[in-house]
Structure 1
Amino acid sequence: MAKTTLWLIFFNLSLLPCCFAALQHQFYKGKCGSFDVEDVVHDVVSKRCRNDPTTSAALLHMLFHDCFVHGCDASLLLDGEDSEKTAFPSLTVRGYDVIDEAKGAVEAVCPGVVSCADIVVLATRDSVSASGGGKYKVKTGRRDGQISVAKNVDLPPPFVSMQDAIARFAAKGLNVKDMVHLLGAHTVGVAHCSSFKDRLYNFTGTTKPDPAMNPLLLRSLKHQCPKNAKVDNTANLDQNLPSSTVIDNSYYQQILMNKGVIQFDQVLSSHPLTKPTVTALATAPAPDFYKIFGEAVAKMSDIEVLTDMEGEIRSSCRATNKPK
């Protein structure tokens, strides 16, 4: 009886889907005939980046928002009246159309095989490369999550304390250096005036500007963000205009000159736990910075991923296959 039972167990296991297990490099190789799905995604993203240099900033922002809410499972992409994308912190996320186009191109040559979660990770990698940041390796094999609820979105705000930020990143398996490395994404990002306006006019309730802000930056941001403006304008997080759409270490150089736009960025350059890393990155040769930044994004891309039968492979990134 024992031998029969053991045989049945192995037989039943052999009938389970075998395509998804632990993440691995080139997971989809050989799963889509002669097509390389990574090349398909790359072609879409490269074209998008040529037409819109801010695409890399959009996709890095998207990846962060997705991975920090129940892991990198593309739950941010799901539509719905109360989905993650409707939460206030996620209202500035864009680039969904880029992922839709990449998903459509992949489905056309390899239907029902490639997850939206993997497409987000691959598209982000390719956008970083297209923006001058070098090409880093990522593992694939994620499946898509089926749950997306606005109240689950709890991301670090622009004025987060260092202690709270470190704790939030640690909860995702990321250390202090990882946090500083990942914030290098701000070299191509923007911030809305509402996220730093207090630093211009009423810092910590003093009715005065933040004394830590570079005077030239203060003057520029006041022009960009008038006190009683009715429009929530944006400002580059990297104040070196020529490189504001290029993945490089300029952001770190700027915050060391007290040109951090949002409060937490500026704190990074002076806090004893983060200043040494900021200083090292600000002076790092380009190849070293590309390697450090790419590895940090790849590490974030592996947060709490779904594999095996924990998730699904969506036919549309905006809707779960789960029966209503």
Structure 2
Amino acid sequence: MATCRLTLLYAAAVVFSLYPLPAASRLSPNFYDDACPRALPTIRFVVFAAIAREPRIGASLLRLHFHDCFVNGCDASVLLDDTETFVGEKTAGPNNNSLRGFDVVDEIKTAVNFACLGNMVSCADILAVAARDSVVALGGQEYEVQLGRRDSRTASLDDANKEIPAPFFDLPALVSSFDSHGLSIRDLVVLSAAHTLGFARCTVFRDRLYNETIDPDLARYLQLQCPSTGGGGDIPAPLDRTPATFDTSYFEGLRQNRGLLHSDQQLFAGEGGEAAALVRYYGERVEVFGVDFGDAMIRLGSIAPLTGDDGEIRENCRFVN
């Protein structure tokens, strides 16, 4: 056993010496090509397998990346567990009992560390690649992920509570939130369409269901599952008609006043303005939407990354080294 362990350590040392990680401070799609060419195929294999077991996990992995990047940049801070001396972001209002997929990230990290014979791929990059692979696995278009992020050693519960757009935001608040992160109104509309995947809990859409104008057939159906008072808060409902397929039915739903979340329907409120025009535009152009979604995801993934000598590459995504 000892001989086997020494052999593995020696092999890892050889790999590190032959293929040192790039020291560049800019993100690049080729960051791991020499250091660990098996990194991205390994991530894709684990993501595809997880989605085959449970299609909902694709939306969860996509959401993890978004919630990470909106809080002090794409640095995997959202993955840090609380400890006796540290409070992370998992218990923030937008995340608590809502974010999922942490176990899949753990599975990816273990597989990638094995494939690379060492701790070479950051958890922040894993989130970015897993988000892309989730989109592809569920029918969306391929796009090239920029790589080279490093992981933070800190997280902020307060910032997570403040920075992540809420499902009750009106359009001006959404535009302001995205603008503060360097994202345009086009990015807002395109990235909101990630809600073509997944589900939301009754507690998140209950107010819209009983206090706003919504498609009557959808309202009657959802009211049976999500009462105005009492229990049912955790009962999920699909965000659009095809919650396991990456398509443009999200935009169709907004045009029919079937947006499940207040913040989603706000994109088509009054049927006027730039956001509403973009909803109509993308709803009629599937391929254009796919390309623009990929471009917007690249911009999202480029929000304040740690690179070069900043941060670290965590051995375990839940804890600092």
TM-score bracket, normalised by the shorter chain, equals 0.7 to 0.9
User: Deviation per CA, 1:81-108, whole angstroms, max 9, x where unpaired?
Assistant: 5210111211200001111111101111
2:134 maps to which residue? 127
Instruction: Look up the SS of the partner of 2:200 in the other structure.
Output: strand
Deviation at 1:26, TM superposition (A): 1.7
> Conserved in 1, the CA contact under 8 Å of 2:22 and 2:31?
no
Supply the distance in 2 between the matched residues of 1:20 and 1:88 (Cα, whole angstroms).
36
Listed as ranges, the matches of 1:144-159 within 5 Å are 144-153=151-160, 154=162, 155-159=164-168
**Structure of greater Rg:** 1
Aligned letter for 1:93?
L
Residue of structure 2 aligned with 1:27, choices 15, 31, 34? 31
In the alignment, structure 1 residue 166 sits paired with structure 2 residue 175:
yes
In the alignment, structure 1 residue 309 sits paired with structure 2 residue 313:
no
Listed as ranges, the matches of 1:232-247 within 5 Å are 232=233, 233-238=235-240, 240=241, 243-247=242-246
Supply the distance in 1 between the matched residues of 2:130 and 2:165 (Cα, whole angstroms).
24
2:280 maps to which residue? 279
Q: CA RMSD in A?
A: 1.5
User: Deviation per CA, 1:158-190, whole angstroms, max 9, x where unpaired?
Assistant: 111211211110111100000000011000122
1:108 maps to which residue? 114
Q: Percent identity?
A: 38
2:91 maps to which residue? 86
> Conserved in 1, the CA contact under 8 Å of 2:74 and 2:303?
yes
Provide TM-score, normalisation by structure 1: 0.87
Supply the distance in 1 between the matched residues of 2:70 and 2:203 (Cα, whole angstroms).
22
Supply the distance in 1 between the matched residues of 2:156 and 2:263 (Cα, whole angstroms).
27
Supply the distance in 1 between the matched residues of 2:206 and 2:190 (Cα, whole angstroms).
25
Provide TM-score, normalisation by structure 2: 0.87
Unaligned runs of 5+ in 1: 1-16, 204-209
Supply the distance in 2 between the matched residues of 1:228 and 1:18 (Cα, whole angstroms).
56
Residue of structure 2 aligned with 1:55, choices 44, 54, 57? 57
In the alignment, structure 1 residue 190 sits paired with structure 2 residue 169:
no
Residue of structure 1 aligned with 2:67, choices 62, 65, 68? 65
Instruction: Look up the SS of the partner of 2:94 in the other structure.
Output: helix
Instruction: Look up the SS of the partner of 2:231 in the other structure.
Output: coil
Deviation at 1:298, TM superposition (A): 1.9
How many residues align structurally?
292
Residue of structure 1 aligned with 2:187, choices 178, 182, 193? 178
